[in-house]
Structure 1
Amino acid sequence: MEASQKQVGQPLSRLEGQLKVTGTAKYSGDYQVPGLLYGYVINSTITKGKITRLDTGRAKAVPGIVEVFTYENRPSLAWFDLQYADMDAPPGSPFRPLQDEEILYNGQPIGLVVAESFELARYGATLVEVECEEEAFETDLRKEASKARSPKIGMATMLKPLPPRPKGKFEKAYQESPAQVSAEYYHGTEHHNPLELFATTTIYEGDGKLTIYDKTQGTINSQLYVSNIFGLKYKDVRVISPYVGGAFGSALRPQYQLFLSVMAALELKQSVLVTLDRQQMFTFGHRPPTIQQTRFSADMDGKVTAMNHLAIGETSRFEDYTEVVVNWSHMLYPAANTLMQYKLVELDVYSPLDMRSPGGSTGMHAIESTMDELAYKTKIDPLQLRLINYSEDDVSLNRPYSSKELRQCYLQGAERFGWDKRSPEPRSMRRGNKLVGYGMATGIWEANQLPAKADAILTTDGKLRVNSAVTDIGTGTLTVMTQIAADELGMKIEDVEFLYGDSKKPFAPIQGGSFTVSTVGSAVKVAGAALKKKLFSIAKKMKDSVFSKADLKEVVFEDSRIFLRSDRSKSVSFLEIIEANGGKPIKVSKFSVPSLLKQKKYSRATHSAAFVEVEVDEQLGIVNVTRAITAVAAGKIINPKTARSQILGGMIWGISKALREETIQDFNLGKYMNQNLAEYHIPVHADIHELDVIFVEENDEIVNALGVKGVGEIGLVAMPPAIANAIYHATGKRINQLPIHFDSLL
């Protein structure tokens, strides 16, 4: 009998794809129930101060408007000021909507109008009269940079380690080196802007029980938040989020529409939907503007001798949001003398929030642009310079990598791109009236694994059902988990169902950081293994069992049957095992935890190399990324199709970050001025040309049981510096502020 095809490694299309493209998939704002009320948020128009007068009378007099909530009439709450009230909370005191009359940042929610329709609620918001007493504020990072301080240490430091300690004698080594490069880099504020707006539908079930449809990257995190804030029992709060229309980190923390929807539903004892409009999507979380200063030196053979990297980021006055910005250079390049510094400036803004490859895309821009400049200084090809400084070890921690195929990323990427056709001198390549530039850069991102749990159930009809609370934010989680489960039990993909996005299901952490497949996938694998063991145990006890004298290593699971490995004519079907179990389903539940003893001796990371070609119009300064290749080493690739989509998406965002994306702030008003998708520029189809992805073969038996590393972030980190380096090669101009606009090239 021919063995069935393995699912892991197959380019399977997304299982939920048809539901999404036909509009059948229900998102958090799509749930209609009888008597549903609609909430519209009122936001502050000042940046800092106090509310001195609030008059809701005109709004409440309108028929159909049910209530207007402000700090003056909100219910008393069981506020939790603890880190674990939110899995992703940084050190400090979390923002609490409608707490009092204080205004902490521009756009802060100060009221909620609840009405019988969305349009009526929105109209009611215009009738609420608000007077404020303004106070002096500061939102300009550059102006306040001299006030930078070290970040406070909190629980988040576990996943966001502080910079490594200084090594050697940086100043002496730098000054004595023949090749020195120093530069300052800056990128402005960015906002996530997923296609789906933030919405929460809270269904009031009675007796304090709630079913909440929330746009979130962690159903259990939202459950934890709601239960703690409102003093409810965990079992009485159910959060469901099967479909998420993009998030990119914006839904890692519970956002204020969740709080306001739940508060209104509990107080009014009715179901309430609160949806934020596009402008309100700019009133929480962002990639923080960051100032970076680098000083790298090398000998004339290209060996890096000293590295100094300072980053100054923005945070709110109530929390210390941190990113891993400066750690990456020493993880890649083994300089003997290093000085890495990371500092924060408190400003009158909302706390920044993780945004795809947080810190990594920021830091790698400065690191890889500085390395490029060092290559020109030493007259060494940029790719060759990186190979000269290649290391199999993470010298920042004095540990080997669990696996590192970055060298193959360089070589395979360069060959497919045609890097050898690059003329070394800037402004030496042309195509008509366009200057042509080639640029490359290295990418690195951590490969983490967190604890998670999964149920695996063989149903009475012989199908496999696997349960997890994890969300799928559009990355293909549903599909790859189904593939992992199918292979573990030797079943066809159509006989496996993965149920997810529900806080009632087994524990899963927030989805982010490129750790979901390694985390939840490992839980699915161990649950599947436990179910196999249980099925085999029942099969051994069946009457006249062909396995009575066999052990688990002597059988194989294929085509929903168990076969004796030495004699494939002897087998038993899963349906026969169910029958032997009295016709009852067979269930196991298993927790997966990282193998810390095995992993602690190694550093674990995903690596990439990006190669980019740009054309720059010599008269107009317009930049076009004509083609780009990213070669990625990410362990075993569960699904090449969904993984490729992740890398392509990251590459497109890299183009956006380098050339388009920026939230402009008027520092006199403390307000973001382009709070819409007309003026917040992102690439359109005409901006994107030839993109290619290479997955380099990489075997890793240490990182986790599946041998996988995440691909969500690694596609982005190397693209902005590769583009900036290509622009320098094309024009001879080094632009260190992102995004790079045409006016700086004229």
Structure 2
Amino acid sequence: MENTPSIGKPISRLEGQLKVTGSAKYAGEYYAEDLLYGYVVNSTITKGKIKSIDTSEVKKMSGVIEVFTHENKPSTAWFDFRYADMDAPPGTVFKPLKDNDIRYNGQPIALVVADTFEMARYAATKISIVYEEESFETDLKTNVEKQRDPKKGLASMLKPPPPPPNGDFEKEYQNSYVKTDSKFTHGTEHHNPMEMYASTVIYEGKGKLKIYDKTQGTINSQMYVANVFGLKMKNVQVISPFVGGGFGSGLRPQHQLFMAVMASLALKRNVRVTLDRAQMYMIGHRPPTLQHTKFGADQNGKVNAIYHKATGETSRFEDYVEIVVNWANMLYPAENTLLQHQIVPLDVYTPLDMRAPGGSTGMHPIEVTMDEIAYQLNMDPVELRLNNYSMIDKSSDKEYSSKELKECFLQGAEKFGWDKRNPVPRSMKRGNKLIGYGMATGMWDANRIFGRAEAIMTADGKVEIKSAVTDIGTGTFTIMTQIAADELGLPIEDVTFSYADSKLPFAPIQGGSFTTATVGPAVQNACQALNKKLFKLAKNLKDSVLKDAKFKDVNFKNGLITLRSNPEISMSVKDIIDANEGKAIKTTNSAMPNPLTYGKKARAVHSAVFVEVEVDEELGMIEVKRAVTAVAAGKIINPKTAESQVLGGMVWGISKALHEETILDHQFGKYMNANLGEYHIPVHADIQDLEVIFVEENDQFVNDLGVKGVGEIGGVGIPPAITNAVFHATGKRIYDLPIHFDKLL
């Protein structure tokens, strides 16, 4: 039976049944004999010192094995943590239990280890701690004068600083036909994945550990553990096949991993440490950011002057930055720009990448500012963007490798029914509800980095592909299997994908929408190399029908090697394996961008978002009734999993615009709503008609597969589109996110 290509087919997740039946095991669910449980104790002050920490009575409790504090913490290698973590920003990485200094509220200050989780948690409440408190600063708005330029470091490779000023912004701005001058804010957000952070450490003796960790990078966690604890890399194995949501919170090793490994090595026992929901608010967040935009444009709406400044928070010990202000000049080719990004060190934990870090933050003011220009000119917002359309990234003066954003505008507008919009604010009504239409552009990087994969053909003619990459719920497991099946010419059921194990070939952390573009080409290369080995074996067989053929002359399809010129001439892959005495055929291959050519073009994913909102005229309550996102992201390997990614981003965008915010009480320096009851996220009733369109886009420059990532693009355009729709409905421009109904009363 002929197998058809699987790339481009909406294949359901191969691990879906395991997940929906509860059979999939997560980091805190693995069985280990004689397992001990650790519970983290967190500081209740924001800044100061521990004067004393009395654990004597707790250690006498039945079931308590040990209590670790800064006073009895086992020695570690204290390798510079920053170089043991692929996602660490410049600065000095926080080291749990290093000393008695308190740097932020909720800092881990002890670990209670007991024979049950309940006992460890109870005992943690009985430790007597005396603090010496110091004054602290946690409010970004009242400390803006302390802003400074972030230090440049390793993180800048994937997070470049703003480009230098171009032209004469002030002069061009003052001479512009229309001018905007707006200030924006958004609050703190926390990741809140369903699965909380856990590490189960199996002590195998002689410095060998097997670790089931919740992580977005098994090799990253392996590097961290080996370097911090002075272990050999080969003696540390990290496994993470199923991740119940990460959204960036698993890019860096979290402190439960450190605590579990520390306790396991010290006690020579199996140890599990799990963070509870409140403790999840102490491991990083999307930083609150203040932004200021000033755009100038001519009477046709052509933007000729762009000013965008962002001021975000960071910790006292690390310089966390995002790409916030770079986007405007990448979309709109103004000749005069002034782009600035500052950070303010505060007494908080270091912020952490959260889905579309910087893009979700920066695109909101950019696209709301463009909407302001459209209304000043009485111009359709879509027309305004088409008037500023460019195939050049002006910030780098490079041509885009591909850009089908224009088609996103056209197809998205048609699907949404944008032509039915009455452009006058507050002009459309449905009963007592004001109707608003809003749109915005979305943009995200299309990057790739280094990755490896192994391909093994076994004696039965089936193939196993191996890579250490994780699958954080994006469908990676499924689409890598699809890529391999098509390259090998095998049905998808004859290919297995082994992944999420640090013992497997190298893969980077899974984030930034670069996983498919990084690991996919490595899988492709490994499969092509395997095909070449098979072809060589086939040529060398006695009386081979392919003995005079070249590799470029053959196809691999349906488990056969066939001549392109005459498909009737073929050899069975199974026969070739049998002739090889049933020996497995292996190959391990790498893939990375060509350093000589990769930087010659700009690379990005684009989207156009259209939203309809209803606003209760009397109560100010906002509902998103429907939204359409049209995406241009190169070749779509699996429309089903890709659509799921974009839909998830759209839901999060609705959450960012209308619901989501962590409240910090600056009197105490503490997050006050560290739970899912008071940290508001959308429920089913908040999500109505969402639709995704994938616009055809051919790009052979980004990689041989022609793929770009879709993980981030779904979320970046929704918040400004909602904000613009609220203005159209009410005539009131809101500059702060989330938009609360009281701002419309």
1:225 and 1:254 in contact (8 A); partners too:
yes
1:379 Cα shift?
Answer: 1.2
Question: What is aligned with 1:653?
Answer: 652
Q: Distance in 2 between matches of 1:669 and 1:90?
A: 27
1:600 Cα shift?
Answer: 1.6
Question: What is aligned with 1:8?
Answer: 7
Q: How does 1:451-530 map to 2 (within 5 A)?
A: 451-530=450-529
1:4 Cα shift?
Answer: 2.4
Q: Distance in 2 between matches of 1:596 and 1:109?
A: 42
- 1:550-600 CA-to-partner distances (Å, cap 9, x unmatched) read 011111101111112222222222221111222110000001111232322
- 1:242-282 CA-to-partner distances (Å, cap 9, x unmatched) read 00000000000000000000000000000000000000000
Q: Distance in 2 between matches of 1:281 and 1:111?
A: 16
1:33 Cα shift?
Answer: 1.3
1:736 Cα shift?
Answer: 0.6
Counterpart amino acid of 2:194? L
| 1:28 partnered with 2:27 | yes
Q: 579-588 or 97-106: which moved more?
A: 579-588
What are structure 1's unaligned runs of at least 5 residues? Answer: none
| 1:728 partnered with 2:727 | yes
Q: State the secondary structure of the residue aligned to 1:345.
A: strand
Question: What is aligned with 2:582?
Answer: 583
1:3 Cα shift?
Answer: 4.7
| 1:350 partnered with 2:372 | no
Q: How does 1:225-236 map to 2 (within 5 A)?
A: 225-236=224-235
Question: What is aligned with 2:246?
Answer: 247
1:50 and 1:132 in contact (8 A); partners too:
yes
Q: 554-563 or 566-575: which moved more?
A: 566-575
| 1:631 partnered with 2:630 | yes
Question: What is aligned with 1:209?
Answer: 208
2:81 and 2:224 in contact (8 A); partners too:
no
Q: How does 1:588-599 map to 2 (within 5 A)?
A: 588-599=587-598
Q: Distance in 1 between matches of 2:560 and 2:326?
A: 50
Q: State the secondary structure of the residue aligned to 1:173.
A: helix
| 1:341 partnered with 2:323 | no
| 1:373 partnered with 2:372 | yes
Question: What is aligned with 1:166?
Answer: 165
| 1:116 partnered with 2:115 | yes
Counterpart amino acid of 1:284? I
1:82 Cα shift?
Answer: 5.3
Question: What is aligned with 1:156?
Answer: 155
- 1:701-725 CA-to-partner distances (Å, cap 9, x unmatched) read 1001110000000000000000000
Q: 479-488 or 578-587: which moved more?
A: 578-587
Question: What is aligned with 1:601?
Answer: 600
Q: 596-605 or 531-540: which moved more?
A: 596-605
Moved >4 Å (runs of 4+): none
Question: What is aligned with 1:180?
Answer: 179
1:83 and 1:155 in contact (8 A); partners too:
no
Q: Distance in 2 between matches of 1:82 and 1:272?
A: 22
Total equivalences in the alignment: 745
Q: State the secondary structure of the residue aligned to 2:568.
A: strand
Q: Distance in 2 between matches of 1:165 and 1:258?
A: 40
1:32 Cα shift?
Answer: 1.2
Q: State the secondary structure of the residue aligned to 2:567.
A: strand
Q: How does 1:306-705 map to 2 (within 5 A)?
A: 306-705=305-704
1:409 Cα shift?
Answer: 0.3
- 1:325-351 CA-to-partner distances (Å, cap 9, x unmatched) read 000000000111110000000000000
Question: What is aligned with 1:745?
Answer: 744
1:300 Cα shift?
Answer: 1.4
1:176 Cα shift?
Answer: 1.0
Q: Distance in 2 between matches of 1:94 and 1:670?
A: 21
Q: How does 1:55-204 map to 2 (within 5 A)?
A: 55-81=54-80, 83-204=82-203
Q: State the secondary structure of the residue aligned to 1:597.
A: coil
Counterpart amino acid of 1:161? P
- TM-score by length of structure 1 reads 0.99
1:451 and 1:591 in contact (8 A); partners too:
yes
1:441 Cα shift?
Answer: 0.3
2:47 and 2:347 in contact (8 A); partners too:
yes
2:458 and 2:582 in contact (8 A); partners too:
no
Q: State the secondary structure of the residue aligned to 1:486.
A: helix
| 1:270 partnered with 2:269 | yes
Q: Distance in 2 between matches of 1:567 and 1:369?
A: 59
Question: What is aligned with 1:261?
Answer: 260
Counterpart amino acid of 2:528? A
1:685 Cα shift?
Answer: 0.2
- TM-score by length of structure 2 reads 0.99
Q: State the secondary structure of the residue aligned to 1:445.
A: strand
Q: 574-583 or 715-724: which moved more?
A: 574-583
Q: Distance in 2 between matches of 1:722 and 1:80?
A: 46
Q: Distance in 2 between matches of 1:146 and 1:417?
A: 44
Counterpart amino acid of 1:536? F
Q: 401-410 or 81-90: which moved more?
A: 81-90
Counterpart amino acid of 2:283? F
Q: Distance in 2 between matches of 1:82 and 1:477?
A: 29
Counterpart amino acid of 1:276? L
Q: Distance in 1 between matches of 2:698 and 2:567?
A: 30
Counterpart amino acid of 1:109? P
Q: State the secondary structure of the residue aligned to 2:181.
A: strand
Q: State the secondary structure of the residue aligned to 2:344.
A: strand
Q: Distance in 2 between matches of 1:339 and 1:651?
A: 30
1:284 Cα shift?
Answer: 1.1
1:305 Cα shift?
Answer: 1.5
Q: Distance in 2 between matches of 1:233 and 1:483?
A: 35
Counterpart amino acid of 2:264? A
1:59 Cα shift?
Answer: 1.0
Q: CA RMSD of the aligned region, Å?
A: 0.7
Q: State the secondary structure of the residue aligned to 1:253.
A: coil
Q: State the secondary structure of the residue aligned to 2:597.
A: helix
Q: Distance in 1 between matches of 2:592 and 2:633?
A: 20
Q: Distance in 2 between matches of 1:574 and 1:218?
A: 35
Q: Distance in 1 between matches of 2:33 and 2:164?
A: 60
Question: What is aligned with 1:719?
Answer: 718
1:85 Cα shift?
Answer: 1.1
- 1:107-163 CA-to-partner distances (Å, cap 9, x unmatched) read 000000000000000011011111100000000000001111000000110100000
Q: State the secondary structure of the residue aligned to 1:627.
A: strand
Counterpart amino acid of 2:573? F
1:180 and 1:295 in contact (8 A); partners too:
yes
Q: Distance in 2 between matches of 1:679 and 1:475?
A: 28
Q: Distance in 2 between matches of 1:284 and 1:83?
A: 16
Counterpart amino acid of 2:648? G
1:27 and 1:245 in contact (8 A); partners too:
yes
Counterpart amino acid of 2:165? P
Q: 713-722 or 548-557: which moved more?
A: 548-557
Q: State the secondary structure of the residue aligned to 1:222.
A: helix
1:595 and 1:704 in contact (8 A); partners too:
no
Q: Distance in 1 between matches of 2:81 and 2:190?
A: 27
Question: What is aligned with 1:47?
Answer: 46
1:223 and 1:237 in contact (8 A); partners too:
yes
Q: Distance in 1 between matches of 2:54 and 2:223?
A: 34
1:239 and 1:502 in contact (8 A); partners too:
yes
Counterpart amino acid of 1:686? A
Identity %: 66
